[in-house]
Structure formats: structure tokens, C-alpha cells
Amino acid sequence: MYGKGLKPLSIAAVAMLALSLSLVFFYAPLDGDQGFIQKIFYLHVPLAITALVGFVVGGVFAILHLRSNDRKWDAYSYVAIHISVIFGVAVLITGAIWAKASWGHWWVWDEPTLVSFLIVFLLYATYYPFRYAIEDRDRQARYASVFAVTAGAFVPLNFMAVRMAESLVHPRTFATAEGGMPGEMMLTFLCSLAAMGLLWTTLVKFELAAKSASGQVKRLRRALDAPVAGGSSRIAPEVS
Amino acid sequence: MTRSRTAFAAILAKDLRSELRTLQSLPAMALFAVTTFVVFRFGLDRTSLSGSLASGVLWATLLFAAVLGINRLFVSEREEGGFDAIRLAPIDRTVLFAAKAAALVVYLAALELVTVPIFAIFFLEDAAGLGPLVAVLLLTDLGLAATGTLISSMAVNSRARDLLVPLVLLPLSIPLMIAATGATEPLLSLGGPSYDRFGTWLMVLGLYDLIFGLVGYAVFDFLLED
């Protein structure tokens, strides 16, 4: 049942990615300052925004889980955080490449957005060992939801604290850069953002469909008294 | 309301009394902190500290010492059946959160009462900054107590309880440490204390305390369901 609408969604995501990439390479003007390397902006920033929104969405699913006690929402929350962590790895890698190309160092400590993202990523990376350490499935789901809610509240607070630690030495340039961004760049950026959002949604749906299918197979095998093939992951929630 | 207050006072008094009698956490935390100061003396190869180095050493040490205490916060509840008793008692379960957090604040304050003067004797040229530092210490303790109690109550019911608290609590406490070190750094600077952005940092600390106090209060109920 999770597979419903997956095909049109995947096609839309691929089409949007193709459109945004062609806009990035053939339509958006070259940046006067940084030249060609600035194009990684259209990959890095939408990835980061999608990952952060994904973390918060995972927190919202966790609240739904705690309120309704329906295990479905725990699976949603787990998958949302899982895909966002994968996006987070991509954000850190593209961020490091961009930093190397434009500032000459792989890591720059006085770029508050990147540092905040690293802290948020480190927190969410502990989600897996945290889940893994709790054996009882019900308790695991509940504790994971509490973690997701706490971490979701942590995301904006952390960004504020890191930005304040830098604000006097290092004025924020992105806010003004975005305000002064030429129309073509803005359009390309928005297209890339939409493409990343679609990609995230598609991957979440794929993951949920896969979990649901393997859960059904396992239940059928159990009903047939056949041996259940392969040990299932002890972290990932089961979906009915 | 009055019943909650009675329960709160009873749990807090029980915790403090059992700590006073067994001395399980506090001496270990203090000893750890003092030893860490000595490690920093050689690690940094400095005999006196000021400014950002002083605040960094102080807060890194206090944070790791706090983790030791937070690790043990719920161990007795689990081993002696305190959780079951709370579940049976006709009281609001968030009372346990409030009482445990209050006990943790007392532990941390006691730890700082011992270790901060030792830190000053070891490293500081003048102790004028220690007066306003009390406000920073207190607000940071409240934040650590809120997140620490929440994480500790989950970790104690898991397989890897000694591992989970430092693993999850350290990233969670980074905003707290940013604000605490930001406020402490000018207080311990070489030419006597200055108050550069002191109020702003105290407000960040207060905001952290408020948010995670409310989060803990809202979600703690779900941690005791079984």
C-alpha cells in the first residue's frame, strides 16, 4: 500500500532533477566572484535545507507517534531521519569541496551554517546506536520518538547559538547574497530546491514501500511455517 | 498540586539522602574533575590560564564530570525497583523528572562548589571573575539537568547505558557549551573581568533551559509507560 503513487512521484523527481541540472549548467549565469565552482551552491544548499526540514518532519512524525501510539508513525519518523542523515553526508561532502575550492581549506570553522550543520548531523548520527541499544520493540519506538522530538527542538536552537558565537566577527553574507541574487540564479535555486524535496519524498516513500513489502513477506513465510530468510535489522521498525 | 509537591519533595529528599549516605557519584565526579585539571596543565603546558583557554578547560572538565553523575542518576531506581514504585504510586509521573533534575542540579552545584575554587587556585591569576560566574554556572546546570535527566532515564533502560549518555548528551549540550564558554571567556580574561555580551549569553542559556525543560516535561510521561 506504500507503493501507491510511487511511479509518478519517481518520474516527477527525475524530471525535476534533470530540469534543475540543465538550468544549473546552461541557464544560470556564472558567478562573477567564484566562477564555475559556485554551481555547487545549487546542490549543496538545497540538500542542506531538505535534510534540515527532513529532521524536523521526522520530529513531527514522532509527535504523531507519541500521541496516537500507532507504530506506522514511528516507521515514518525513522525513515525521514534515515534519509535526512544520508542527505547530511552529502551536505558535508559538498560543503567541504566548496570550502576547498573557494577558501582553500577543506574545513572552515568560521562558517556558522556549516558548523551548525555538523553539530546537528553528529546528534542525529547517534540515533542509530541509540535505537540499537534498546531491545524491546515498543520501548524502542517510544524512546526513538522522544529522541526525535528532542532533537527536532534542538535544530533551531543550535543554529541560533552557533550563529551568535560568530556574528560579531563574521557578518552573515548568505542573507544579503540571496537578497541580491539575480533572477536567473534565484529561479535555478528554487528549481533545485524543489528537485531535492521531490527526491527526498521519493526516497522516503521507496524506503517505506520496501519495509512494508519485506514485512509482508516475513509474515507470509511465518504463516507458511517457512524459515524466515536473513536476519532482519534490529534497528529498523517493521511496517505492516 | 499539593500531592505532587509532597511527592517531589519526598523523591528529592530520598535522592539526596541516599547520595549523602553512599557517596556514589559526587566524590568520583570531583576527583575526576581535579585530575582532569592536572591533565590539562600538562596537555596545554601552561601553569596559568586566562580568557578562552581558561573557560574551555573549565567547561570541558565540568561537562565530562557531569556526564559521570548523569550516568548514575537512574541506576538505583532501576536496580532497586524505584521505577515500579513510581508507576504504582498515584502521582503525576513528571514529578520524577522534576525531582531527578532538581537532584542533578544539587549534585552539579556541589561539584562546582568544590572544583571551581580548586580551578581558581590552580590556574587563575585573580579570582574577581568568579562572582558573576555563579550565574553562568547555575543556568548551565539547569540546562544540563534538563537534557541529562531525559537522556539518562532512557539510557538506563537500554543495553548500552554507560555508552548512550556521553554519546547523545555531548552533541545535545553543544549549544549550552557555546553560550557558557562565551559568557565565561570575558569574565576570566587577563585584565580583570569584562562583561562583553554577558547578558546575551545568559539569555541563550535561559532559552536552552526553558526549551529543554518544557520538552522534558512534555515527553517524560512516555518514558515510564510499560
pLDDT of residue A184: 79
- Bridge partners (DSSP) listed for residue A91: none
Whether A137 has its CB under 8 Å from any CB of chain B: the answer is: no
**ipTM of the complex in this document:** 0.87
**DSSP reduced 3-state for A110:** coil
Interface probe, candidates B78, B163, B168, B169, chain A, greatest A C-beta count within 10 A: B168
Give the pLDDT mean for B62-89. 88
pLDDT of residue B13: 92
Please list every residue in chain A whose beta carbon sits closer than 8 Å to the beta carbon of residue B156.
none
CB contact under 8 A, B211 and A153: yes
d(CA A85, CA A186): 26
Please list every residue in chain B whose beta carbon sits closer than 8 Å to the beta carbon of residue A145.
222
Dihedral angle sign, alpha carbons of residues A178, A182, A185, A191: positive
Range from A28-37, A154-163, B3-12, B142-151 carrying the lowest mean pLDDT: A28-37
Q: In sequence order, what DSSP letters do the residues of A157-201 get, joined into one string?
A: HHHHHHHHHHTTTS---HHHHHHT--HHHHHHHHHHHHHHHHHHH
What one-character DSSP code corresponds to residue A26? Answer: I
Task: State phi, psi for B86 to the nearest 5 degrees.
Answer: -65, -40
CB contact under 8 A, B157 and A134: yes
Whether B182 has its CB under 8 Å from any CB of chain A: the answer is: yes
pLDDT of residue A233: 61
Query: Higher confidence at residue B71 or residue A231?
Result: B71
pLDDT of residue B171: 93
CB contact under 8 A, A123 and B147: no
C-alpha distance from residue A17 to each of A199, B191, B211 (Å) = 8, 57, 38
pLDDT along chain A (240 residues), means of 10: 80 90 83 76 90 94 91 91 95 90 83 87 93 86 92 89 67 50 81 92 91 86 75 65
Range from A107-111, A230-234, B138-142, B219-223 carrying the lowest mean pLDDT: A230-234
Query: How many residue pairs from chains A and B have C-beta atoms closer than 8 A?
Result: 91
How much of chain B exceeds pLDDT 90, in percent? 57
Residue B120 has pLDDT above 70, yes or no: yes
CB contact under 8 A, A165 and B178: yes
Secondary structure of chain A: what % helix, strand, coil (to 5)?
Answer: 75, 0, 20
B37 confidence band (pLDDT: 50, 70, 90) = very high
pLDDT of residue A171: 46
Whether A130 has its CB under 8 Å from any CB of chain B: the answer is: yes
Please list every residue in chain A whose beta carbon sits closer than 8 Å to the beta carbon of residue B197.
168
d(CA A29, CA A15): 22
Shortest CA distance from A69: residue in chain B: B222
CB contact under 8 A, A146 and B223: yes
pLDDT of residue B157: 86
Non-local CB neighbours of A121 within 8 Å, separated by 6+ positions: A85, A88, A89, A91, A92
- Cβ atoms of B34 and B115 within 8 Å: the answer is yes
Whether A220 has its CB under 8 Å from any CB of chain B: the answer is: no
Please list every residue in chain B whose beta carbon sits closer than 8 Å to the beta carbon of residue A142.
222-223, 225
How much of chain B exceeds pLDDT 70, in percent? 99
pLDDT of residue B181: 93
d(CA A129, CA A51): 20
Q: In sequence order, what DSSP letters do the residues of A193-229 get, joined into one string?
A: HHHHHHHHHHHHHHHHHHHHHHHHHHHHHHHTTPPPP
Query: Higher confidence at residue A105 or residue B147?
Result: B147
- Cβ atoms of B149 and B100 within 8 Å: the answer is yes
